[in-house]
Amino acid sequence: MFPRPSTSPEASPGGRARRGRASRSHRGRKLYQRRSFWAAVGLAVVGGSVVVVNTASAGTVDTNSWYVLVNRSTGEALDAPAYASNDGAPLVQWSRNGGTNQQWKFIDSGDGNYRLQNRNSGKVLDDYNWSKTEGSELVQWRDLNGANQQFHMEKSSDGYVRLINRFSGMAVEVPGGSKADGSHIAQYHDWAGAQQQWQLVPAGSASGTGNAGSSGGGSSTKTFMGSNTVLVGGMMNDNSANAAPFDMRYAYVHSQPAPSSDYYSASLCKAAWSSWWGCWSGETTAPGFYVTWNDDHVTKTTYQGKPRPQKNFWTWYSLRDLGDLAGEADGPGEVKAINRADLLTRYMNDYRFFLQKIGNSQDAIDIEPDFWGYVRSLGNPHQVAAQVKAANPTDCGSQENSAAGLAQCLIAMAHKYAPNTGAGFHLTCWDWQSNMQKCVNDYSDLGAKSADFLVADVVDRDAGWYAKPENGGRDTFWNDQKASAMMGWFKTMAESVGKPVVLWQIPLGNMAQNNTFGHYKDDKVDWFLSHMDQVANAHVAALLFGPGQQEQTTVESDGGNLINKTTAYRNSGGTPLK
């Protein structure tokens, strides 16, 4: 097992406290997935039923509320892409996900006109450069209360409205009624077409929020976590993180849950609480400091002496520890634990506290590696019992008491308490080579379309380590045939759910190593970073490298291979997402 973190973040700033996965190494292939929000105009999924939600119409807008503006023709939402915060960022439409970049407030400008303020950026909808040209794009800009930033609403049928700019007299439109994510928003003369009609849906009236949409993306996404190229990152210390233009860092969160709510409300941790993840940072810090410190810390990363903020990718990996409390640990214990209301209540409380510590940060969460594979081994996820309603009636009272209900509850909680963060379903299909369709079906039953992305791992140890007789004598080196098969599997899962894939815990070994502790051979880094078109074609949005166990090669011990190849990749301009 990896050791717990040091008593202060400064002592080990690069992603401490990862759990060793040696107990699972015999399970071999582990691969993962998830994400997408179902949302039709004016409809929401509540408890499995489709219901009409309240909408606002001309003359009834509440200036104290936030709205998602859904286009009548396309069903897509008005969106500030990639959570942009700069003046002049063009506005687009995107699949509705409820993220703060899709939420708008109407600020009264008098005479029936309003400025539309974006919740994420604080900027307002703007007719750029005071244009009166048909087809000119609309952008966001700081609020100057100019006539080019003011709109009044004209009624259309069924509660839809048209937004008419006070200066130009033109309507906000999706040109051509394009249904593509990322289509730019423009102004045209008011002809009352469906592509000019918008429904004002109160934010939060449909299931799910989060960081999906334009910065999470589906299988055809053009941006993910604010980038339009494949991201590269991993588990590393600060020196490594500053040595190349990395995009993300990942860290584990795992421990038995806090035994009482006193842990969450305490002003400082206690020495006796040090085994709980919320107090890994020691008794001089507040509970949860491990998360808040890391989220702040990665934003201060530099490259070549200049700021280059990174984002956190959290692996939430605590059902394994809940299984310990149930007395059976891996697999059987985890599935037993979710059907005990006392244990699942503690788990849900811990998960909520974790999400609250993330707050408005733009992170990503990988939810429970391996666990969904254990669920799949028992049959249909709807039939695997879980005390979801009793454990968390506040957040999950409408979910069914099953593993599928638990999956949906965890996603919904992430979107509620960490609205700018994407939540990823970990794809665990050890049987993908023999029964890929079962994996597709099981993740459909789990509700993977409610997530924001999918997570998969290629293999959890360096190939040189696995090749040793004492470690099984397995051949996990790649060739083009093996790589092509696995990339085809990622592509199939991504397209079946409509979500991009993040590859996680990719081995760091390379062929210059000597197969000793921390220096094992492998070929995954070299293969991925020399086949980035194939990576993008498989809808892989991020490559995250890291050791799956303490004997493996790390970023710090690989001879600079990942640092050098990541630098070359970014210098080339990166590979566009597909």
What does the DSSP 8-state code read for residue 255?
S
Comparing C-alpha atoms, which of 243, 205, 356 is closest to residue 289? 356
Local structure of residue 383 (DSSP, 8 states): G
Q: How far apart are CA 501 and CA 178, in angstroms?
A: 26
| Number of independent structural domains in the chain | 2
Q: pLDDT (tens digit, 0 to 9) for every residue of the chain, 578 residues total?
A: 233 333 223 333 223 233 333 333 333 322 222 222 222 223 332 233 222 334 454 556 889 889 999 999 999 999 988 777 889 999 999 888 767 889 999 999 999 999 999 998 899 999 999 999 999 999 999 999 999 999 999 999 888 999 999 999 999 999 999 988 889 999 999 999 999 999 998 875 432 223 433 333 333 446 888 888 999 999 999 999 999 999 999 999 999 999 999 999 999 999 999 999 999 999 999 999 999 999 999 999 999 999 999 999 999 999 999 999 998 877 889 999 999 999 999 999 999 999 999 999 999 999 999 999 999 999 999 999 999 999 999 999 989 999 999 999 999 999 999 999 999 999 999 999 898 999 999 999 999 988 999 999 999 999 999 999 999 999 999 999 999 999 999 999 999 888 999 999 999 999 999 999 999 999 999 999 999 999 999 999 999 999 999 999 999 999 999 999 999 999 999 999 98
Are 217 and 175 contained in the same domain? no
Of 202, 230, 255, which closes a domain?
Answer: 202
Q: Which two three-digit tokens encode residue 180?
A: 């593509």
CA 186 to chain centre: 29
Tokens 């789990």 correspond to 446
Instruction: For tokens 């009352």, name the residue.
Output: 192
Cα–Cα distance for residue pair 309/9, rounded to 1 Å: 18
Which residues, including other chains, have CB under 8 Å from residue 388's CB and lie 6 or more apart?
A: 344, 396, 399, 400, 401, 402, 405, 406, 409
Write the pLDDT tens digit of every residue in 138-176. 999 999 999 999 999 999 988 899 999 999 999 999 999
The pair of structure tokens assigned to 525 is 């880094």
Q: Are residues 260 and 116 in the same domain?
A: no
Instruction: Specify whether 381 is located in the same domain as 347.
Output: yes
| Contact call for residues 502 and 542 (beta carbons, < 8 A) | yes
Length of the chain: 578
- Do residue 55 and residue 26 come from a single domain? no
Residues 509 and 210: their CA atoms lie apart, in Å, by: 35
Task: Looking at the structure, tell me whether residues 345 and 363 fall in a common domain.
Answer: yes
CATH (domain of 118): 2.80.10.50
Do both 110 and 21 map to the same domain?
no
The CA distances from residue 21 to 306, 317, 419, 565, in Å, are 36, 11, 30, 27
| 0.75 exceeded by pTM | no
Residue 510 belongs to domain spanning = 9-37+208-571
Determine how β-strand 66-71 pairs with β-strand 113-118.
unpaired
- Helices 341-358, 289-298: axis angle to 10 degrees equals 30
Q: Would 189 be classed as within a structural domain?
A: yes
Instruction: Answer yes or no: do 182 and 216 share one domain.
Output: no
Q: Are residues 481 and 354 in the same domain?
A: yes
Q: Would 153 be classed as within a structural domain?
A: yes
**404 and 257 in one domain?**
yes
Closest CA to 400 of 453, 338, 354, 353: 338
Residue 400 in any domain: the answer is yes
Is residue 526, in this structure, part of any structural domain at all?
yes
Same domain, 15 and 105: no
Q: Is residue 22 part of a domain?
A: yes
**165 φ, ψ (degrees, to nearest 5):** -70, 135
Same domain, 478 and 567: yes
Q: Is residue 347 part of a domain?
A: yes
- Determine the residue type at 35: R
Crossing angle of helices 341-358 and 403-417, in 10° steps, is 30
Q: Could you tell me if 176 and 244 lie in one domain?
A: no
Instruction: Among 202, 221, 250, identify where a domain stops.
Output: 202
196: left (phi over 0), alpha (psi -120 to 50) or beta: alpha
User: Considering the domain boundaries, does residue 2 fall inside one?
Assistant: no
Q: Is residue 408 part of a domain?
A: yes
Task: Please report where in the chains the tokens 């991993």 appear, as a residue.
Answer: 234
Looking at the DSSP bridge assignments, the partners of residue 154 are 162
CATH number for the domain that contains residue 329: 3.20.20
In DSSP terms, 46 is beta-bridged to 49
Give SS3 for 462: coil
Query: Which of 146, 178, 202 finishes a domain?
Result: 202
